[in-house]
Structures are given as structure tokens and as C-alpha cells.
Structure 1
Amino acid sequence: MDSSTSSQTNTELAQFLSEQKSSIVEKWLEKVLLPQNDPFYEEVKKNGHQTIVELINYLKTGSLERLHGLTSKIAKERIEAKANVGDFVHNINIGRSIVYELLMCSLLNDREKGEGVLKMQCYFDQLVFLSVKEYTALKDSIIDRKNQFIQEMHHDRLTMLGQIAASFAHEFRNPLTSVKGFIYLLQKELEKTEQSNYYFDIIQNEMQSLEEKITQFLYLSKMRGLEDKLEKVPVNFLLKEMLNFMYPRFSEANIVTSTDLGEDVVIEGDSSQIKQVLLNILVNAVEELSGWDGERRIKVSLKKIDDTFVSLSICNNGNPIPDYLLENVFQPFVTTKSLGTGLGLSVCKQIVEKHNGTIEVRSGDDFTCFIIKFPLQ
């Protein structure tokens, strides 16, 4: 087909659409997915008319440049109307179908109809593409702003909690030290009996438990970075020490332990803090298994990864962690225990990250595993 014939066809198609514009928009409004209370209902009508105007312009000029203004307007209005993108695309395709049907029923010859279908297909494809592109970009922008706001709020709240935790811990630690001192004096001055020794043991255990909770608050409130004295930490030795320390509790709860500690590995850090991490996770495992029917198992393994990291996993076969908690289990005050503070795992995460390591949890029907990685020295 030569250019003069094509130009003539485009002119005839443009003329046909100009005559049918009102009819096309009316039929389109009858079929679109658009509630009557849509805040942009009247604008949608205008957009329908403008869509045909831009199609006519395309037939006359062969340019789609003006289409960007229309698609940008449509996308903004659909975002503000909280419209579903599927409905949005469906409505454009409804308009496409109506134009095709009218074209096929027109008095234009077959060649002109064929030429018209190809031209209109190109136009409507571009209309859908640009509209969805604009819509998606605006949606992503809104989501990014919301996520940034949430993260800033979350950071501010954690900072405030850290400050409260530090203040709380220091205010309690001072009188606690005095109480411990007077208990010690009372033990020395009072006549010792089997009953009084039993009472003092209970008091000391409860005081130790309270001190541990205060220590957790202080860990939580510390700034990132390892200000403590660094030393070579033999991870295998620490693991064996903690497993031996926990042995009475393993026996009491009928827990079977299995270990695969491999070769000796050394990291740099603070051994007391690493012990705190190991103890927290082992105690959590024991507490979880204490209410578990059937065989109770804890598996501990340690291995090198490419001579750059050491990977430590502590697994138990208790109830899996619910999915809704799994992603947030290391956040402060998140716990599966009815009487838990939700600080233990948060402290573990902070200590591990201060040692340039990572900690993650995987939970399934068979085992829940805490996997810790430290850089090797």
C-alpha cells in the first residue's frame, strides 16, 4: 500500500471515529467496572472522550507523544480512587473491543477495516502499557514512602525503648546491689539452719534471675560496636562448657543431646557475651521442650565455612515457631512464652551483630534451628 492510500485510509478512519465518539463513550460507560460513587466518575467520562481524541490524533499524525499526558492523568486518578489495576486494564480493553466492533460494522471496505484494526491495536497496546507503567510507578512510590515512615517510626521507638531500658536497669541495679550486700551480712550473722539455708538459696536464685534480666536490658540499650575487651574465643570450648553447665537441666527434662563440634575454631570477641548467647538459646530450647510430648532432642553442630566463617546451629524438636512470629522473633518484646520478657533473642542478635556475625532462625515440623555465623580469625 503506497503512502497516499495509507494516508487516505487514516483520514477516513479518523473521520469515522469523530462521528462515533459519543456513541463509543456511552457504550463504554455501560460496561466498565466503575462504581457510581467513584470520586473521579465525571473525569472518567472525560478520559473516555480524550482517549478517542488521542486515537484520532494518532491516525492523523502517527505520533503517540501526546498519550503520556492522558495516561499520567488516568494513573493518578485511579491511584487516588484506590482502584484495582486489574479493573483499570479491563476497562481499557472494553473500550478497545467497542471500537473494533463498530469498525467491523462500518461501511468501510475490508482493506480499510484491516488497516484500522492494526493501527488501533498499536494505539491501545501503548495506552495499556503507559497507563500501567505510570500506575505502578506511583504505587511503588507510595509504598516506598510508607516503608520509610514505618522504618523511621520503628527506629525511633527502639531508640526510646533502649533509653528506657538503660534508665530502668540502672535504677534497679543500684538498690539490688545494696540488698545483696545486706543478705550476705544476714547470712553471716544469723544462726544457720537447714530451713534458713533453703530460704537463702531461694533468695539468691531469685536475685540472680533478676540480675540476668537487668543485664539483658543493659545489653539491649548499648550502642552497636564492641567496646568490650577483645580476646581469642575458643568456640568449641565455650560450647562444651555451656553444654556441661546445662546438663542437669537436660537430665531433669529428659532431653537427649547430640553434638558435632568438628575441629577447634577461634573467633575474636568477648567470651562472656558469647556465653550469654549460647545460654539464652539453650535455655529457650529446654523451656520449649519441657512441654513437649514424646522424645525430646537438642542437636548442636559447629563447622567451618570456606575457612572464613564458623557456623553454629542449635536445634530442638519442639513446637515450630508460628509463621506470624518467625520474621519478628529477634525484635524486642516479641516472645512465644506467656511469662517471657521477649528480650533474650533480641539481646542475642545484638551481641552477635556486635561480633560482626549473623543469626537466623529456621522452623519446621521436625526442628527449630538457630544458626549463628561468626567470622574466623
Structure 2
Amino acid sequence: METNVQTGIGYIKLGDFLKENEQEFLDLWEEQIIVHSAVDNRAQIRENGYLMYQLIINAITSKLSEDDLRSLAHKVAQERVDANNNIGEFVYNVNLGRSILIKCVTHSGIILEEIQTIIDLINSKFDLFCFYAVSRYTDLKDLKLQEKNVYITQTHKDRLAILGQMSSSFVHEFRNPLTSVMGFIKLLKNDYPNLPYVNVISSELEQLKFKISQFLHTSKLNTVVENRDEDIMIKGLIEEVTDFLYASIVDGNIQITSTIDANAKVHGDRSELKQVFLNLLMNAIDAVCEEDIYRVINIHSEVNEEHITIMISNNGPTISADAAEFIFEPFYTTKKLGTGIGLFVCKNILEKNHGKIVYNSDDDLTTFQITLPII
């Protein structure tokens, strides 16, 4: 690359020198850059290199608008995102151009006192260009990722809706023969009260009926149903649930304690709220039975002027922090054989009855906390 710049001439003649050797610079740069022929547009890359080269000349000979530098950086970032190209290769190519340009300047005949100022200027513009381009590229990538997550979430919801409709159809088909079997078991118990294993069969059928009711709740959540709200004593409701689960509690050798305010009364659908406590206590029983430990379940309440808060705690395995975002979503489960609808049903029933549910899990206890308005 020949030079006509003489010592001490200054910035203007350096600018003229760079203009005269523009094609030689671009050819040298293009020979060394990283380009993937299958995905990269070589002509577009050379055009962007030319535009950056012109901006540097403007910065040396006159003034460079920061908006022009930002505009080119944003243009390149958009092109890289659209082509799904790596930003790292772009940064390498830019820095390669910087190195070639600085080498040209140092051999241009500019006096030593001016060379360092010019190199500092070039470095500052290239640094700013890279900053704008990489920042824009990152923002655009994040936006695409968010859009993709929204699409995935919506697709997931659509699939769940279809799965829910299918499940509801299957469950209705199961419920009719189950009702008949349960009826005949009751007749069998009446005719042969001492017949062994009938109580076990009856208990298992009740559990199956409960699971079927869970699925039916998922299909009824957004439909209008008959209002069956009534005044409910919370202590009595929880005692009904623990009595129903007595066999499982004894079989698991579980120590269960309950301290519920005897006067706390709520207004809501009794069967639905009963299902909430059944879900949570069955989950707690399953959790403590996973490990060979001293198994404990505590049920405790706190009452103020407006609400009752019921805490159901167990000393089973910790629920990981990763589950926090999904634990109340349908079909998400941490159990090996779980259906993933119990907590989803609980959350929706409680919200329908003007309540809420949250949980906390650490190395000592996992606690599900229910809050309901009292009357």
C-alpha cells in the first residue's frame, strides 16, 4: 500500500490516503475475515466493512455523528440475528479490520505525536461500534427468545386443553361402571358383613373415585355450575378428611398433629374445599413415605379478623426451587406416579372460593399454606 502522506501534513492528508487505498484495504480485510459461504452474505459483509471504513475516515477528517455509528451497528446486528449468525465472528472481523487499519496508519508517514492520537481515536470508534452492535444483537436475541417462549407456552396450553377434553371424556366413561361396582360392594357388605377384604376393596374404590373427581374438576373449572356454597366449620372439615385417610396414616406410621381453631368458619363449596384438604394431605402422606424417617405431618391454623390461614407441613423430601414456577400448573408433578392435577385443582378451587395457596420448602419442612376469608 503506497503512501503520499508526508511527515507533519496532518489528519486531512491521512484521510485522503485512506480514501485512495480503500479498495486495497477492503480486499486485504476480506481475504482474512471469517465467512461461512453457506449462511453468510459476503457482499453484504464487504458493504458493511466499506461503510465502517467511511465512518472512520469521517472521524479522522471532520466529525463523526454518534448516531451514524449506532445506526450502522444496529443494522449489522439485525442482519446477524436474521441470518442466525454468531456475534463472536462479527467481533473478530471488526477487530481484524481495526488491526489492519491501525497498521496502515502506523506506516502512513504521520509523525509520531499525531499517530498515537489517531490510534486512540480509531480504537474509541471501533469500541463504541462493537458495543452498540453486541448490545443490539443481545436485545434482539432476547426478544426472539421471549417470542419463542410465548409461542411454546401457548402451544402447551392448547395441548393441555385438548388433553383435558380427552381426559374428561375418558373419566366420564370410567365413572359409570365404577358407581355400579361401588353399589354392589355396599350390597355385598350388607349381606356378608364378615366377608374379608371387602373393606379394603371399598376403600380402594373410594380412592379411585376421588382421583376421577380430580379429573372432572379440571374440565369444570371454567364452566358455570350450581351454587352449593354453605357455612363450613374448618376444624370439622379437616377432621373428616383425616378420618377418611386414617388407614393410610396408620399404615405409613405417620405422626399427625392438628391444632385448628374450633370456631373458624368459612363460606364455600364443602365438597370442593374437602377435596383441597384431601389433595394436600394425600400429597403430604406420599411425601413422608418416600423416605425412611420419623414421619411427621402438622396441621396448624392462624386466625385474624378477616382470614384463616391453614398450614399443612411435612418432613418429607424438599421440593426443589426449580419447581416453584410450575408446581401449580396442570400435569406437572414431582412424583414418580403422580397425575400432576392435584395442586392445579387446589389452586383453582381456592381462587373460586376467594382464597389462595402458596408453599415453602426447605431442608426441614415443606409447608402448603391456605388462606380463606372467615365469616
User: TM-score over 0.5 for the alignment?
Assistant: yes
The equivalent residue for 2:5 is none
Superposition deviation, residue 219 in structure 1: 0.5
Q: 1:296 to 1:182 in 2, by over 3 A?
A: closer
Whichever residue aligns with residue 302 of structure 1, its letter is S
The equivalent residue for 2:361 is 363
Q: 1:177 to 1:261 in 2, by over 3 A?
A: closer
Paired with 2:131 and 2:96, the residues of 1 have a C-alpha distance of: 15
Q: Percent identity?
A: 36
- Unmatched runs of 5 consecutive residues or more in structure 2: 1-8
Q: CA offsets per residue over residues 187-221 of structure 1, 9 Å max, x none?
A: 55x5x263xx3243344223322221221111011
TM-score where L is the length of structure 1 = 0.79
The equivalent residue for 1:18 is 19
Q: 1:133 to 1:324 in 2, by over 3 A?
A: closer
Superposition deviation, residue 180 in structure 1: 3.7
- Unmatched runs of 5 consecutive residues or more in structure 1: 1-7
Whether the 8 Å CA contact 2:14–2:108 is kept in 1: the answer is: no
- Name the SS for the 1:329 alignment partner: coil
Whichever residue aligns with residue 348 of structure 1, its letter is C
Match of 2:349 among 323, 348, 351: 351
Whether the 8 Å CA contact 1:231–1:271 is kept in 2: the answer is: yes
Whether the 8 Å CA contact 1:263–1:303 is kept in 2: the answer is: no
Name the Cα RMSD after superposition.
3.5
Paired with 2:178 and 2:129, the residues of 1 have a C-alpha distance of: 72
Superposition deviation, residue 342 in structure 1: 2.9
Whether the 8 Å CA contact 1:332–1:343 is kept in 2: the answer is: yes
Superposition deviation, residue 143 in structure 1: 1.8
Paired with 1:9 and 1:261, the residues of 2 have a C-alpha distance of: 88
The equivalent residue for 2:6 is none
Whichever residue aligns with residue 149 of structure 1, its letter is Y
The equivalent residue for 1:288 is 287
Q: CA offsets per residue over residues 165-201 of structure 1, 9 Å max, x none?
A: 322232332333344444445555x5x263xx32433
The equivalent residue for 2:47 is 46
24-33 vs 11-20, which moves further? 24-33
The equivalent residue for 1:218 is 216
Whichever residue aligns with residue 45 of structure 2, its letter is V
Q: How many residues align?
A: 365
- Name the SS for the 1:292 alignment partner: coil
The equivalent residue for 2:241 is 242
TM-score where L is the length of structure 2 = 0.79
Superposition deviation, residue 352 in structure 1: 2.4
Q: CA offsets per residue over residues 229-251 of structure 1, 9 Å max, x none?
A: 33344445534543455455334
Whichever residue aligns with residue 370 of structure 2, its letter is I
- Name the SS for the 2:319 alignment partner: coil
Whether the 8 Å CA contact 1:239–1:278 is kept in 2: the answer is: yes
Whether the 8 Å CA contact 2:221–2:348 is kept in 1: the answer is: no
Q: Report 1:261-340 matches (<5 A).
A: 261=260, 265-303=264-302, 310-321=308-319, 325=323, 327-340=325-338
Superposition deviation, residue 72 in structure 1: 3.5
